[in-house]
Copies of this chain bind each other. A is one copy, B any other.
């Protein structure tokens, strides 16, 4: 079991590369760029997808992706993940063939169909899903925003990256980053699956927009409270309303815009503002 919190390791070798650029005066500038590499994910013998990733937790990414796509189901048991860093391959093995493999093994599909199919599969998995009765407190949101903004990260080191953070109460548990925001949230999902952690008592914080895909992934993970420093899209909001998910956008330590599910928010007793009396002099 990994020690918590599991935080970004911006200085780890292989995640960033020092490059030499040029500024507007022609002077050389040292900067760091994020490395990205392809990872091809297999479910047993079936090739599923090739994702571009920073490559820090390929096992969690593979499991989380399959879980969030509904290709791994609660009843499936993962027996291991075989990694080949040179080939950029992660093979997730289960003790018996998954329903996904059985269903798709014989089908013929044309190029390009998969993106739409994946989306359809994800929506199908939401039917009948009920989110837990989670709440979020004012003081938690404030503390989490502060912690996340100041935690050393690839974002602070090099920019051009998305982050997703799994929190409980006012504590950061797992902070994942990746070049695509989907990978970051999938890695969090993979961690939850491996650790057997439920979503009911969690808050999911993301640096990216609150799109339909982000809302669907959070719902698949059983998380009812989703927070972003960014805004929501209309489909993200519509889905969140249908699911009864609390969606907080434009989140900063002292402000937010709650798009849906405000009933899940506990403002707590706030310190009374100082009474100021102006006495005519």
Q: Does A127 contact B (CB under 8 A)?
A: no
B113 contacts A160, C-beta separation under 8 Å: no
Q: Does A235 contact B (CB under 8 A)?
A: yes
Q: Does A115 contact B (CB under 8 A)?
A: yes
- Out of B19, B119, B179, which one reaches A237, CB within 8 Å? B19
Q: Which of A112, A117, A259, A265 has the most CB of B within 10 A?
A: A112
Q: Quick one: CB contact mask for A255-267 with B, threshold 8 Å, 1 for yes?
A: 1111110100101
A22-B258, A52-B212 known; A231+B114 contact, CB < 8 A: no
Count of residues in A whose CB is under 8 Å from the partner chain: 67
A169 CB to closest chain B CB (Å) equals: 18
Q: Quick one: CB contact mask for A228-244 with B, threshold 8 Å, 1 for yes?
A: 00111111010000000
- Give residues 176-233 of A contacting B (CB, 8 Å): 179, 209-212, 230-233
- 25 A–B contacts, CB within 8 A, in A order: A16-B234, A21-B249, A21-B257, A21-B259, A22-B257, A22-B258, A22-B265, A24-B267, A26-B262, A26-B267, A33-B237, A35-B235, A36-B212, A47-B116, A50-B115, A50-B116, A50-B119, A107-B110, A111-B113, A114-B115, A115-B115, A159-B230, A160-B232, A160-B233, A179-B211
Given contacts A22-B258, A52-B235, A104-B110, 16 further A-B contacts (CB under 8 A): A16-B234, A23-B255, A25-B267, A29-B257, A31-B257, A33-B232, A34-B233, A36-B212, A36-B233, A36-B235, A48-B112, A49-B116, A50-B115, A50-B116, A113-B114, A160-B233
